Amino acid sequence: MAYLSEPFARIGIIGGTGLYRLAGAAVLETLDAATPFGPPSSPVTIARLAAPDGTGGSDGPVVAFLSRHGVGHSIPPHRINYRANLWALKSLGVEVVLSCAAVGGLVPSHGTGTFAVPDQFLDRTWGRADTFYDGLLSTGVQHLPAAEPYSAPLRAALVAALELQGEDFAPTATMAVINGPRFSTKAESAALIQAGAHLVSMTQYPEPVLAAELNMHFAALAFITDADTGHDGSEPVTAELVLGRLAAAQPRLLAVLSAAVHRVSAALAGMEPAHDGGFPLLALIPADAVATVMGGAVMDPAGPARSGTVRPGTVHNAGRSAQ
């Protein structure tokens, strides 16, 4: 893929349930991106992120933000266009993706109201388009190495941010991913625990592998909203419970995200794309294969307030929405 000297943003954030905008961020523009895989879940907001204490949004690091479930939470987990979401971020110059996820805790070591930084996933989904290399392009079949599905340096940035904010968190976790949108039965939850899972999610697959297939660093910040089917004696999870706890925890979530983004941005500052010491250039998939998937997409900036085009899809400026 050919990069211009000034990408829209080098850091991308995928907002999960309850995180549909970046409160306190200074919005630069909102872009509608058309991709070869259809429209992404939401417009992409280009914004300057506030500091962890909520101040300084006007001069914070630039990020590209996308809401996984749509702005009004209109898209269920199994119908999210994961390929379009990751393609859209890559086309805007994103090299590092931070994903937010509301998850259930399956074991006592990963308790309700705490955070986790998963290092493994256990895929229990079906029917999702989970590769860009499906035999329809000239790239041929590409076999992604996936022993370590999350980026180690990006996970380290999240761990450092959680420590800085004084949060209780688990530095590792195996994330079981179910299809949704329903929650698990007790038997299913027990089977996931027996398989070695610590957490359960509906959206952490196929995001990590799709990001890796485009040679982007990817890590997830998981907030544990519940004990799934109630292994700790609590009531089984409901959507209302998840949304309520996420709303209460949103300032904490945003503060951790901001601390991580500021740390990553400082590491990337002044470097060539993806060539600094902390975030080495990924080459999990051959660069020419990635370029083929991207269709030679090139950002076409038009000054400070850009409404660029990305080929073969097109990005339109959708206005500056208040955040």
Question: Which of the residues are catalytic?
Answer: 226, 228
Confirm whether residue 1 is marked as ligand binding.
no
- Residue 196's φ and ψ, nearest 5 degrees, are 105, 10
Confirm whether residue 21 is marked as ligand binding.
no
Confirm whether residue 203 is marked as ligand binding.
yes
Confirm whether residue 168 is marked as ligand binding.
no
297-304 own/partner pairs: CB under 8 Å, 24+ apart: 297/1, 297/90, 297/91, 298/2, 298/4, 299/3, 299/4, 299/7, 299/8, 299/91, 299/92, 299/93, 300/4, 301/4, 301/6, 301/8
Q: Is 206 exposed, middle or buried (0-12, 13-18, 19+ CB in 10 A)?
A: buried
Confirm whether residue 288 is marked as ligand binding.
no
Confirm whether residue 130 is marked as ligand binding.
no
H helix or E strand, kind and range, residue 266: helix 239-268
Confirm whether residue 112 is marked as ligand binding.
no
Q: What is the 3-state secondary structure (H, E, C) of 44-57?
A: EEEEECCCCCCCCH
The CA-to-CA distance between both ends of the chain, in Å, stands at 32
Q: Which residues are annotated as a binding site?
A: 17, 68-69, 202-203, 226-228
Q: Which residues are annotated as a binding site for substrate?
A: 202, 226-228
